[in-house]
Structure 1
Amino acid sequence: MSSKIDAFALLGMWLKEREIQNQSAHTLRAYERDVSDFILFCGKRNLPLSDLETSDLREYLAYKVECHQLSSSSLQRMLSAIRQFMKWAEHSEYMRFNPADNFQLKRQSRPLPGLVDIETVNQILDQPAPETEAQQQMWLRDKAILELLYSSGLRLAEVQSLRIKDVDFNRQLLRITGKGNKTRIVPFGAKAKEAVMNWLQVYPLWHGDFVPEANVFITQKGNPLGARQIENRVKFQAQRAGVNVDLHPHLLRHCFASHMLSNSGDLRAVQEMLGHSNLTTTQIYTHVDFDHLAKVYDQAHPRAAKK
């Protein structure tokens, strides 16, 4: 690798391999952006990637902090992309040494996710329907979205891409396509089942005949509902319920995880339902419900309280 052109050619080869491995388009764009930026930085300093040292990578990250005020999480993301690219280049014998291999950034403590208590969630989900027929139809769709987000802990993109054929009403199971095009099967509750079935009675009025491949959630014109539209409707329904919470789809996913873990204590099951590949990602929810932890401690520890 003697020139900037060679480096970009290698980047294209690497991205092509990631695409074959079913990496999502969003992830590939992020990889391309982060690694391209690093290649341009090296090019301006006449640094061929084959001659890079750890100090050059440290200088690049310091430059990003100083000039762009990047957060720790953004730096971690960039470093991860660069490390994976260089690991591939080294394994493919385009580089003799991977300077990012043992390079680590100090991780900041991860903030606890926001949380809404069960009573507030119920206030949003059980609010009365609007008065006009058009708004009632919108509410039936929005309620089905809200119920699935909370009932099954789905990501925004997973709700958006959910298709008619992915819903098994008999067994109350959803076939979900998550990050990296990985599929998982998750249950949904009786309330969510009722809400989706009520919404599907309106569905033909907006879309016509049911098609297995069609999206479950659509606009009044029959088009698939966009991510921003879903976010806006979730916020709107929280406001309509009189709840002073900045509600968004991911917050309902947090609530699902925390409430499930508080009531079951089954970390592995919650991990499976959330679609987390690493258990440590799920473990953040073990730190949320301090009242529950204190109650368990008082009941279980022999020295917790006076006899």
Structure 2
Amino acid sequence: MSGAAEELTDVLSAPLSAFLVHLASEKRHSPRTCDSYQRDLQRFGAWLQGRQASAWHDVSGHDVRRYVAWLSREGLGGRSIARHLSAIRRFYQYLLREKQVRDNPALDIRAPKSGRRLPRVADVDQLNHLLDARPDDSLEVRDLCMFEMMYSCGLRLSELSGLDLDSVDARGGEVRVLGKGSKERVLPVGRKALQALSGWLAVRPGLAEESQRALFVSQRGGRLSNRSIQARLGRWGVAKGAEQRLHPHMLRHSFASHLLESSGDLRAVQELLGHADIATTQVYTHLDFQHLARVYDQSHPRARRRNGSDDQQQTPETP
């Protein structure tokens, strides 16, 4: 049973309705937030009702744990279950305030951990194909420069849109960016990105006034917004034949994964990305594990296959 659409008895529905009024009138939550609480708590109430629970004060911590297990069997991930538990805890806080229950049965119950979702990465050949495409007009000259900078330096979207003309030292091959927590870092800029920058700076005066400090400007001459950059990257991908939908963070992920794959220097990649905690950077070690395993199989003297009776039917891959 899904339980979500089942009508609750008055004993269960009346306190729930009062709680939703409390959220809307006293807490000033948006209708969307209230609807979310209603859906999650309605589902919990229907599940309880299917197990002959007569009132909210009959619910125990054991019941909540069984509900969490049921949600997991229904296919919900850790984050979704955590949201359900948060709604239940919040509801019982209200019931405690109203003296309708004696305790909060969900207080010490945690959702199962979700497997960390690995970031999507474009392969090197695809990125080379996209970035080697020739721009058709001045706006595409700008777009190519933006995308080269993102992939060359591993910039966040906000870091790219926040660049000013004086942020880049083309002669020194460096860019100064303001990252999370207003932390500044100086990054090297690759040769291809510097070439694209030179092309953009040659046409930029046709779009921007002399007083405009932003490096990347719109057709009207103002600083380009994050949303516009996202849209232009998607458009570039479609126009230049990308195999997957492109988004700014994919370029940052690709920068990190490709650099780590080539260098193996996790600390350096952490510094370049501006991660405060190396654990955040370690997600990229999972992305290139298959590549590293393949290199190992091809290169290590105790892993390489030798011509012999055991593998006469197989041809070793060329290193």
What TM bracket, shorter-length normalisation?
Answer: 0.5 to 0.7
- Deviation of 1:71 (Å): 6.0
Q: Which residue in the other structure is 2:130 paired with?
A: 124
**How many pairs does the alignment contain?**
266
The TM-score, its normalising length taken from structure 1, stands at 0.64
CA–CA separation in structure 2 for the residues paired with 1:81 and 1:182: 32
Kept in 2, the 8 Å contact 1:152–1:186? The answer is: no
Distance 1:269-1:56 versus aligned 2 partners, 3 A rule? farther
Question: 1:172 and 2:182 equivalent?
Answer: no
Q: Which residue in the other structure is 2:148 paired with?
A: 147
- Deviation of 1:74 (Å): 4.3
Q: Which residue in the other structure is 1:86 paired with?
A: none
Identity, in percent, stands at 33
Kept in 1, the 8 Å contact 2:234–2:247? The answer is: yes
Q: Secondary structure at the match of 2:207?
A: helix
- Deviation of 1:273 (Å): 1.8
Q: Which has the higher contact order (CA 8 A, sep 6+)?
A: 1
Q: Which residue in the other structure is 2:313 paired with?
A: none
Distance 1:70-1:125 versus aligned 2 partners, 3 A rule? same
Distance 1:78-1:217 versus aligned 2 partners, 3 A rule? farther
Kept in 1, the 8 Å contact 2:157–2:226? The answer is: yes
Q: Secondary structure at the match of 1:285?
A: helix
Question: 1:115 and 2:114 equivalent?
Answer: no
CA–CA separation in structure 2 for the residues paired with 1:150 and 1:127: 15
Q: Secondary structure at the match of 1:262?
A: helix
The TM-score, its normalising length taken from structure 2, stands at 0.62
- Deviation of 1:124 (Å): 0.9
- Please point out which of 85, 103, 108 is paired with 2:110: 103
- Deviation of 1:297 (Å): 4.5
Kept in 2, the 8 Å contact 1:176–1:186? The answer is: no
Q: How does 1:222-301 map to 2 (within 5 A)?
A: 222-289=221-288, 290-300=290-300
CA–CA separation in structure 2 for the residues paired with 1:120 and 1:281: 26
Q: CA RMSD in A?
A: 4.7
Between structure 1 and structure 2, the one with the greater Rg is: 2
Kept in 2, the 8 Å contact 1:172–1:193? The answer is: no
Question: What is the one-letter code of the residue matched to 1:158?
Answer: E
CA–CA separation in structure 2 for the residues paired with 1:149 and 1:80: 39
Kept in 1, the 8 Å contact 2:212–2:222? The answer is: no
- Deviation of 1:193 (Å): 1.9
- Deviation of 1:128 (Å): 1.9
Distance 1:235-1:292 versus aligned 2 partners, 3 A rule? same
Kept in 2, the 8 Å contact 1:154–1:274? The answer is: yes
CA–CA separation in structure 2 for the residues paired with 1:295 and 1:276: 28
CA–CA separation in structure 1 for the residues paired with 2:186 and 2:286: 24
- Deviation of 1:100 (Å): 5.9
- Please point out which of 72, 79, 90 is paired with 2:77: 72
CA–CA separation in structure 1 for the residues paired with 2:212 and 2:67: 51
Question: What is the one-letter code of the residue matched to 1:293?
Answer: A
Gaps of 5+ in 1: 12-32, 48-52, 83-96
- Deviation of 1:255 (Å): 1.2
Question: What is the one-letter code of the residue matched to 1:126?
Answer: D
1:157-179 residue CA offsets vs partner (Å, 9 max, x unmatched): 2222222333233241332323x
Q: Which residue in the other structure is 2:92 paired with?
A: none
Distance 1:113-1:177 versus aligned 2 partners, 3 A rule? closer
1:133-159 residue CA offsets vs partner (Å, 9 max, x unmatched): xx2x11111011110111111222222
Kept in 2, the 8 Å contact 1:57–1:100? The answer is: no
CA–CA separation in structure 2 for the residues paired with 1:76 and 1:140: 46
CA–CA separation in structure 1 for the residues paired with 2:84 and 2:279: 20
CA–CA separation in structure 2 for the residues paired with 1:306 and 1:148: 42
Distance 1:253-1:303 versus aligned 2 partners, 3 A rule? same
Kept in 2, the 8 Å contact 1:177–1:183? The answer is: yes
Q: Which residue in the other structure is 2:183 paired with?
A: 183
CA–CA separation in structure 2 for the residues paired with 1:294 and 1:185: 35
